Homo-oligomer: A and B are copies of this chain.
Amino acid sequence: MRIDLLRSGSKSLPRQISETLAQRITSGLLQPGSRLPSVRGLASSLKVSQVTVSKAYAELEARGHIICSQGKGCYVAERQRTAPDTAAGWQDSYDDYLPRAQLWRNFDYREVEYPFHLAAIHSSLLPLGPIGATMAALVKEQPELMASYGNFQGDAELREVMRRHLQSRGIAIGPDDLMITSGSQQGIDLVARTFVGPGDTVYLEAPSYTGAIDVFAGRGAEMIFVPVDGEGMMVDKLTAMCDLRPPKLIYTNPTFQNPSGVTMSMTRRQRLLELARSYRCLIVEDDPFSDLYFHQPPPVSIKSMDTGGHVVYMKSFSKVLAPGSRIACVAAEGNILSRLIAAKSASDLGGPLLTQRAVLPFIDRQYEAYAAKLRTALRQRKEAAARLLKQYAPAGVTWRLPEGGLNLWLQLPEAPAIERLHALAEREGISFLPGDVCYAGDLPSRHIRLCYSQLTEEGMQRGLKQFLLLLGQHLHSLRS
């Protein structure tokens, strides 16, 4: 069992060990019934004292993650979920580098009637008709597109279209300063695998996007979470922290932030960029939602002010056009981009050319008109959701209405015994995202993220009402 320990870190060693193990257990990477290494064995392999390991195990046992018995050792406690077939015993002790997998645990295999957990747009709102028609025409007229490995960096024609698109948003870059990725998730992953390694300091917002946390955790990064207020990441606090621990990279989702919905102010955007300049580090600006505003357009992107190649900017197109197309773009300059392209080649040899060409004409000519209509449709849903919240949200539950994007971020009066709430909701065909996975630790969170755009409007209304009523009963039962 491999656990990366930071001996100079602020967390105690037992804490680091117990948190890593707890993450592996809650994410399902360590299955119920698996035997943990002996205290002596783990102490020796981690080069720590046996007392340290004993403390970590005691903490895990106190939290119900493991069961220890004299002479028999410690085992992962059973949970409700059924475990997949256990394979040959040797596999349990085969080391990996995957300390956390919340994305996998929370998003896969969820076929429920009311999927509020996924930040997506209902297919009736997406331009599947025109994109599908382009695709059908292409496979007939240029079948060889399916035969090509394409270019690691992405199709040159689509890159030119994206360059013009970004230019219209104030981001002035050359056609070779961007790369096409399999969704922004791959973009984040490529940055992490290229530039982040064990012990490197990565700053994120608290809360942040689960998929990003997973990726940085997988690289063994030391993640530091900076609180968010009504103007986004608190750059003051970040600055103070950077003095103690210089950043290797700052990950931010400044516009209609996932999950909180908050937008970073212009002043903070500028200060964040200055910070990156003075620390000579990268900012990853993940921007899936800036076209999805309900009232005014949000402030310009950090990238649009970047003159020193400090910002790796990511814009997802698939979220807005067709999630299954897995098309996003990453804008960066110089050898930062070259290195990302090299990582992309080793990662999958480049994305499918056909899909890139299939979305091209739509992005080029129909995107703006479509985005305007989509904004209206999303605003209506958000307003419907707001009415339901006002009417049915249990006492003590608060929220801030987002000014764009796809998510509601509810704060409950107390941590809601999330596993039980999950089970109750699942029984009624409802899924939601527990706030816990948007933070690093395994402390229970008081938040829940709900997406209001993944269902039809009636479906969303029915499901949301049902969920709020259920949440009320559940919170009530916790108190009594």
Residues of A within 8 A of B (CB): 2, 27-29, 31, 84-88, 90-98, 101, 103-105, 107-109, 118, 120-121, 123, 126, 128-129, 131-133, 135-136, 139-140, 143-153, 174, 176, 182-183, 185-186, 189, 193-198, 211, 214-215, 218, 248, 280-282, 308-310, 322-326, 333-336, 338-339, 341-349, 351-355
Instruction: Please tell me if the beta carbons of A347 and B345 are within 8 angstroms of each other in the complex.
Output: no
Minimum CB–CB distance from A136 to chain B (whole Å) comes to 4
Question: Beyond A96-B195, A98-B342, A189-B347, is A126–B108 a contact (Cβ under 8 Å)?
Answer: no
Complex Cα distance A88/B310, Å? 9
Quick one: which of B97, B128, B310, B352 contacts A325, CB cutoff 8 A?
B352
Question: Beyond A87-B335, A147-B123, is A346–B282 a contact (Cβ under 8 Å)?
Answer: no
5 closest cross-chain pairs (CB), A and B: A87-B334, A132-B139, A101-B342, A123-B147, A128-B143
Question: Beyond A27-B342, A139-B132, is A86–B352 a contact (Cβ under 8 Å)?
Answer: no
Instruction: Please tell me if the beta carbons of A84 and B176 are within 8 angstroms of each other in the complex.
Output: yes
| Chain B residues within 8 Å of A354, by CB | 324-325
| Chain B residues within 8 Å of A189, by CB | 346-348
Quick one: which of B86, B126, B186, B352 contacts A348, CB cutoff 8 A?
B186
Question: Beyond A88-B308, A280-B94, is A346–B136 a contact (Cβ under 8 Å)?
Answer: no
Minimum CB–CB distance from A242 to chain B (whole Å) comes to 16
Instruction: Please tell me if the beta carbons of B194 and A98 are within 8 angstroms of each other in the complex.
Output: yes
Q: Identify 10 new A-B residue pairs, CB closer than 8 A, beyond the known A90-B280, A146-B325, A189-B346.
A: A96-B195, A104-B152, A104-B341, A107-B149, A108-B151, A109-B151, A135-B135, A135-B139, A193-B193, A198-B198
A-B contacts, 21 of them at CB < 8 A, read A28-B338, A84-B334, A84-B335, A87-B334, A88-B309, A96-B194, A101-B345, A103-B342, A103-B346, A103-B349, A123-B143, A128-B139, A129-B143, A131-B146, A135-B135, A136-B136, A149-B324, A189-B348, A193-B218, A218-B346, A325-B354
Question: Beyond A194-B97, A324-B354, is A335–B149 a contact (Cβ under 8 Å)?
Answer: no
With most chain B CB atoms within 10 A of its CB, the pick from A143, A185, A198 is A143
Instruction: Please tell me if the beta carbons of A29 and B88 are within 8 angstroms of each other in the complex.
Output: no
Question: Beyond A104-B152, A136-B139, is A185–B347 a contact (Cβ under 8 Å)?
Answer: yes
Instruction: Please tell me if the beta carbons of B349 and A185 are within 8 angstroms of each other in the complex.
Output: yes
Complex Cα distance A462/B353, Å? 28
| Chain B residues within 8 Å of A198, by CB | 198
Complex Cα distance A372/B170, Å? 55
Complex Cα distance A325/B28, Å? 31
> Chain B: which residue is nearest A138 at the CB level?
B132
